[in-house]
Structure formats: structure tokens, C-alpha cells
């Protein structure tokens, strides 16, 4: 077997206290050539024993180990499988002996496996870089409490005493200092070694003895020492000395005196009110109906009142009754004139009730635009385009230049109506949901040429029956055609219908055509049906100067009449009917004329197979029958 990989071990396989089988994909010939190691989480690796802790089964290119024994399945940890061959030669090669090919192959495999095993161990050894010229380096014999290091020449390893390496650091002196002897002691140098000093001794070393050593200070501290300790005073500099100032004087020095206008990047006031550089926030700790007010000099009714309890804003009122409550008049101005909102007191026609009036008056000739809320009309825009909302839910949108639209009328008969410039209805939707259009309708077509024109890659009209039923004739979709007689009587010309062609829960359907035969009223007579079996059933006869069929012509209850203006054979006979009969094992076409069958040929038999009468050939054949 070829050794195609340098892998000599598996990755660490996870144990979970449940799994007992672990696969490996290395070629191994014998169970003595495998090692299994286990490491519990937080522990060290320990080798498992074959047939005590595990068993092994080999496959062509690997195998599976199964843990056994009291510790199996192994708790959370890792399993490691290693190929490990003994460094021995177990095959005894004899001269001119009969050795099998497999024996040769296995020994060659083992030689490569040992090379991989030795290489893996070498890879784990400390070595010199490939470019290094150092060689023949030997470790010295072990000595207690010694460490290994390079000699002074840097070409050999030797044992070294650790203290000899750090003597230059004078750490021996620190070893003599007892860190636990005196709490608060300080290590200082005495000029030769490190020694321990108490806090008091250290302060003396530093020239900081309490009550004795006085530190140097600036002369200006004398000014501060002479200042009176007065409640509310501040120590400030006057440019030469330190002096005291009262609160009022200090505020002036800070630019915060009465009449000053200080600038703040941000200001926070107790009570959750914040003034920032780009925003201001007012938030009370307790809601109030008069949380924020703007008053004039005389007080009284507030100009602005913010009610945080009910979350309302009032203008001209201290008790706003809605989200935004304005008592008084609102007046807006734009580049063309005024827009004013008035209360009821300023409207002459009080019958309209409370209202808001918008008045645009760029010049005296302009139309007036009004917005009313009243009993007989709620909206009116008096301009080139007008909107009325009149009594009994009638809304009219109109333009003197184009058309108008109405929603409802005084009698409630129309829901939606479009009028032309002469106030003639061109389309409407009545209160029953019926729609009427007085012109052509285009769907994806801007210039329809007929009553209904659809323009699309695949125009489709869909009738969708939404009744859930599996009954015969259910799920019907009907398309009808109407006409009017000279006296104006409406006539149902005909219709066609799709419906369910079964009494089962299936998808079968039929199609029926109905034609008014003269006095059918609203229920025209069925003329044709095509069922789910794709057979067509005609209510009357089929008349044709020529008929070619593929399949079966079913004329149940009728006949297929041949009318060929007396030109058919046999000559001189009346027109007749067409049929097919088996003659000599072949389907033969015949005319049934004057109680006699005339066949297209009489080569296969001498007599009519149905009557036994002699066969009468037709002569020249004018018909073609296809199956």
C-alpha cells in the first residue's frame, strides 16, 4: 500500500461522555503499532491500554478505536491517536525464499512509517536555524539548583549558578529587608546598599520633619494669610496681590452682574430644564396644567400656555381644550397678500356656523376663496377651480374651463359623477355600485377606438367565480350579449358559460353556447356544449359543403347531412347521409341514399356486412375521411 501522506497522528478528537467510537485515516498494519492517549479537561494526557481501555478495528486506509472499560465513555476532554512502530525488523528474509508481494509491501510501508515517526520527533526538538554554522553542542551533566547557559565564548553550554547572574543588581541587599517587620517602612539607599527606614526617619531624610522643617513659599501666600475669613467672600487676584471680594463684586468680576449678558455654550437649571448650544429642553419633575407660560406685562390671560399634564398647547387661553387651542385671530402674510383665519364673530353669514375664512386679495379684482363649516356647505374655493361641499353629502369639484366631478346629490342618487362643460354627465357610479361611462374606455390605451380597448402584450379578461362548491353546474362564469329591438325592447341575444362538469371535488369544466332562437327572452337556447371529455354536442344538425374531421363526429339524436347540389355519385340520386362500416377488416366510407349504402370501393367484400345486400360502389369519390 502506498504511503501518500506525512500524517502520523490524528487531530485532537473531542470526548463528551457519550461518544465511544473515534475514527482515524492513517494506514496501520497491527494493533501493536498504535497508541491512544486521553486528556480530561484541565488534566494531562495519559496513554490508554489496548484491550483494557480500548479496542481497534482496521480498514483499508485507517480504522476505528472503541473505548471500553469502567471509564468509557470518557468525560469531556480529548482523544489523540498516534501511529507508533517499534524500531525492530520482524520479517526474517531468507535467500531464495518464497516471500509474498504483500510481505514486501508491508515492510516497505513500515520503513516509510518509521521515517515519518522519527521525523516527527525531530521536528519537536530544539535546533539551530538552517543557516547557522553552530554544531557539536552538548548539554553538560545536570547539577542541582543550576541553570544552563552559554559560556563566555558563546560556543558551548555550561551550568550556571542563578545568583551569579544577578549579583550586579544588588538584590542581595533587598533580600535582607523584611517587608513584614514594620508597616509603612520605606526602602532607601544609604550610599552603599539598600536599607529600610521608618516613615519618621524617611521624612527626616527628605527634610520634611513635622514641626521642624519649614518649606519655602512664595511671598504672595502672606497676602492670603492676612485676608479676613468673611462668609460669602471670594479670593481673587487684582493683578498684583490676592484680595477678597463680596459675592456681588465677584459676580461683576465674572461678567455675571446685573445687566450683564453672559454667553453660555450650555446651561442646566435644576428641575430638568436644559439650554444647549443647538437646543433647549424643558422637562418638569411633576406635570402641571400651567407648566410653561408667556405673559404680558399686565399678567392675566397667558399669551402662551403649555399644559404638560394633558400634553396641550394654548394660545390666548390658560386652559387649552385640545392638542392645539387658539382663542382669537390668526393672521398670515405672504408675497401675494393676506391669509386670515376668523372666528364666528367676524363672519357676516352666521348661518354657516363657526368657520375659518381665508381671504386672498392681491388686488380688488381677485376671486375670493372661502372655507366654511356650516349646515349647508362646508367647503368652497371660489377661483378658476371650485370645490363645494353642499347639503346632503354632495361634493362638487369643477372648473369653468374643463369638467366637473360630483360626489352625491341632493337626493343621494349618485355616489360619483363626472360632468362636461355643459353639465352633462359623461360617467357616474350610483349608490348601488353600478358604473356608467359615456365614452370609450382604454386600459393601457390612451386613445381607445371602441367602447373597451385593452393594449398589452397579452390582453386578458378574467371572470372569477368566488362561490365554493363541488356541485354540477357550479362555479359558473357567464358572458352575455344584449340588443334592442326597434321599439326599444331589450333582447338577450346570447351568452356563453363556463361551469363545473362534475359533482366531485375536481377541476373539470364545460363550455356552453346559448343562442336566442326567436322568443327566448332572457333565457336563450343551448346550441353547443364542449365537455371536460373534449366532446362537442350540438343541439341541431351540422350542415357543411365539405367536412374533414380528426377523431369522432358524434351526431347523437341527428345525422350528418351531405348537400352537394346533386353532383355526388350515384348520379341522379338525392343527397343523403354519410356513414362508416367495416368491410373486409377496413373502415369504408359510404353514402346512405334512398335506403341503399353506396361504398367508396367494393374490393374487399361482395356484400354489405350489416344487411347482406350487394355492395354498390360510388364511383368517383368526392369525400375524404381521416382517422
* Greater model confidence, 132 or 596: 132
User: Which DSSP state fits 131?
Assistant: T
Q: Tens digits of per-residue pLDDT, 28-49?
A: 888 899 999 999 999 999 999 9
| Cβ contact 77:39 at 8 Å | yes
CA distance 490 to 484: 4
CA distance 247 to 284: 30
Q: How many residues does the chain have?
A: 627
The predicted pLDDT at position 545 comes to 52
Retrieve residue 132's grid coordinates. Answer: 547557522
CA distance 323 to 312: 4
Could you give the domains of the chain? Answer: 13-91+99-123 (2.60.40), 220-253 (no CATH), 268-326 (no CATH), 462-538 (no CATH), 542-617 (no CATH)
The predicted pLDDT at position 95 comes to 82
The predicted pLDDT at position 50 comes to 93
Q: Tens digits of per-residue pLDDT, 389-420?
A: 554 455 665 554 445 566 665 555 657 777 77
The full 3-state SS of 574-597, as one line of letters, equals: CCCEEEEEEECCEEEEEEEECCEE
Render 442-504 in DSSP notation, one character per residue. Answer: EES-SS-SSSEEE-SSS------------STT-S-EEEEEEEE-TT--EEEEEEEEEEE--SS
**Statement: residue 358 has pLDDT above 60:** no
pLDDT band at 340 (very low <50, low <70, confident <90, very high): very low
Beta carbons within 10 angstroms of residue 106's beta carbon: 17
The predicted pLDDT at position 626 comes to 31
**Statement: residue 77 has pLDDT above 80:** yes
Percent of the chain with pLDDT over 70: 68
The predicted pLDDT at position 551 comes to 45
The predicted pLDDT at position 469 comes to 94
**Statement: residue 562 has pLDDT above 90:** no
pLDDT band at 575 (very low <50, low <70, confident <90, very high): low
- What residues have CB less than 8 Å from 82, skipping those under 6 apart? 8, 9, 10, 34, 35, 36, 37
Average pLDDT, the chain: 77
Q: Which residue has the cell 410653561?
A: 292
The predicted pLDDT at position 466 comes to 93
Whose CA is closest to 234, among 223, 247, 248? 247
Q: Tens digits of per-residue pLDDT, 216-254?
A: 667 777 778 888 888 888 888 888 888 888 888 888 888
CA distance 125 to 117: 13
Q: Which residue has the cell 496681590?
A: 241
CA distance 516 to 193: 132
Q: What is the mean pLDDT of residues 430-449?
A: 84
The predicted pLDDT at position 131 comes to 87
Q: What distances in angstroms separate CA 494 from CA 497, 499, 512, one per listed residue?
A: 10, 17, 11
CA 197 to chain centre: 73
Top-ranked range on mean pLDDT: pick from 261-275, 371-385, 401-415, 496-510: 496-510
Q: Tens digits of per-residue pLDDT, 143-201?
A: 988 898 888 888 889 998 876 555 545 566 666 677 666 677 888 888 878 888 888 88
Q: Which residue has the cell 362538469?
A: 501
| Cβ contact 163:147 at 8 Å | no
CA distance 206 to 58: 81
The predicted pLDDT at position 520 comes to 86
| Cβ contact 24:80 at 8 Å | no
**Statement: residue 459 has pLDDT above 70:** yes
Q: Tens digits of per-residue pLDDT, 322-331?
A: 999 999 887 6
* Greater model confidence, 52 or 277: 52
**Statement: residue 350 has pLDDT above 60:** no
Amino acid at each position: 500500500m502506498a504511503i501518500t501522506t506525512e500524517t502520523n497522528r490524528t487531530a485532537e478528537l473531542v470526548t463528551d461522555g457519550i461518544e465511544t467510537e473515534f475514527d482515524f485515516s492513517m494506514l496501520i498494519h497491527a494493533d501493536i503499532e498504535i497508541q491512544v492517549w486521553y486528556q480530561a479537561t484541565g488534566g494531562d494526557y495519559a496513554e490508554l491500554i489496548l484491550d483494557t481501555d480500548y479496542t481497534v478495528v482496521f480498514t483499508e486506509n485507517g480504522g476505528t478505536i472503541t473505548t471500553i472499560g469502567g471509564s468509557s465513555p470518557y468525560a469531556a476532554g480529548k482523544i489523540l491517536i498516534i501511529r507508533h512502530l517499534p524500531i525492530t525488523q520482524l520479517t526474517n528474509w531468507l535467500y531464495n525464499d518464497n516471500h509474498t508481494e504483500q510481505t514486501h509491501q508491508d515492510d516497505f510501508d513500515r520503513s516509510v512509517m518509521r521515517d515519518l515517526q522519527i521525523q516527527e520527533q525531530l521536528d519537536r526538538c530544539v535546533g539551530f536555524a538552517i543557516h547557522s554554522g553552530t554544531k557539536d553542542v552538548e548539554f553538560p551533566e545536570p547539577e542541582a539548583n543550576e541553570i544552563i547557559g552559554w559560556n563566555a565564548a558563546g560556543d558551548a553550554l555550561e551550568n550556571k549558578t542563578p545568583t551569579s547572574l544577578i549579583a550586579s543588581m544588588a538584590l542581595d541587599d533587598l533580600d535582607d529587608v523584611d517587608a513584614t517587620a514594620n508597616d509603612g517602612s520605606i526602602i532607601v539607599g544609604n550610599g552603599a546598599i539598600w536599607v529600610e527606614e521608618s516613615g519618621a526617619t524617611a521624612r527626616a531624610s527628605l527634610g520634611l520633619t513635622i514641626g521642624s522643617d519649614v518649606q519655602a513659599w512664595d511671598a504672595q501666600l502672606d497676602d492670603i494669610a492676612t485676608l479676613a475669613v468673611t462668609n460669602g467672600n471670594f479670593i481673587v487676584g487684582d493683578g498684583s496681590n490676592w484680595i477678597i471680594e463680596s459675592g456681588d463684586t465677584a459676580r461683576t468680576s465674572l461678567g455675571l452682574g446685573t445687566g450683564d449678558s453672559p454667553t453660555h455654550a450650555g446651561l442646566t437649571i435644576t428641575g430638568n430644564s436644559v439650554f444647549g448650544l443647538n437646543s433647549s429642553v424643558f422637562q418638569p419633575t411633576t406635570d402641571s396644567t400651567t407648566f410653561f407660560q408667556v405673559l404680558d406685562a399686565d399678567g392675566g390671560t397667558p399669551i402662551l400656555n403649555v399644559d404638560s399634564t394633558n400634553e396641550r398647547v394654548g394660545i390666548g387661553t390658560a386652559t387649552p381644550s385640545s392638542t392645539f387651542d387658539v382663542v382669537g385671530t390668526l393672521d398670515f402674510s405672504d408675497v401675494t397678500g393676506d391669509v386670515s383665519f376668523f372666528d364666528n364673530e367676524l363672519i357676516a353669514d352666521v348661518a354657516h356656523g363657526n368657520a375659518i375664512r381665508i381671504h386672498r386679495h392681491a388686488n380688488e379684482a381677485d376671486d375670493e376663496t372661502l372655507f366654511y363649516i356650516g349646515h349647508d356647505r362646508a367647503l368652497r374655493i371660489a377661483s378658476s377651480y371650485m370645490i363645494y361641499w353642499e347639503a346632503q353629502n354632495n361634493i362638487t369639484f369643477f372648473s369653468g374651463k374643463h369638467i366637473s366631478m360630483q360626489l352625491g346629490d341632493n337626493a343621494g342618487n349618485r355616489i360619483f359623477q363626472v360632468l362636461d362643460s355643459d353639465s352633462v354627465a359623461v360617467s357616474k357610479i350610483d349608490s348601488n355600485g353600478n358604473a356608467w361611462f359615456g365614452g370609450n374606455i382604454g386600459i393601457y390605451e390612451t386613445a381607445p377606438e371602441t367602447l373597451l380597448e385593452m393594449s398589452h402584450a397579452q390582453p386578458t379578461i378574467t371572470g372569477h367565480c368566488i362561490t365554493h362548491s363541488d356541485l354540477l353546474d357550479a362555479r359558473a362564469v357567464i358572458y352575455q350579449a344584449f340588443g334592442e329591438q326597434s321599439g326599444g325592447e331589450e333582447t338577450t341575444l346570447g351568452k356563453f358559460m363556463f361551469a363545473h362538469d362534475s359533482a366531485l371535488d375536481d377541476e373539470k369544466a364545460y363550455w356552453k353556447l346559448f343562442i336566442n332562437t326567436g322568443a327566448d327572452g332572457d333565457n336563450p337556447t343551448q346550441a353547443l356544449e364542449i365537455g371536460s371529455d373534449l366532446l362537442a354536442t350540438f343541439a341541431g344538425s351540422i350542415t357543411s359543403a365539405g367536412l374533414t374531421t380528426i377523431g369522432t363526429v358524434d351526431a347523437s339524436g341527428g345525422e350528418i347531412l351531405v348537400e352537394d347540389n346533386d353532383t355526388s355519385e350515384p348520379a341522379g340520386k338525392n343527397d343523403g347521409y354519410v356513414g362508416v362500416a367495416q368491410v373486409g377488416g377496413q373502415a369504408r366510407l359510404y353514402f346512405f341514399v334512398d335506403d341503399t349504402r353506396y361504398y367508396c370501393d367494393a374490393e374487399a367484400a361482395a356484400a354489405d356486412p350489416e344487411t347482406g345486400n350487394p355492395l354498390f360502389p360510388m364511383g368517383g369519390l368526392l369525400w375524404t375521411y381521416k382517422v
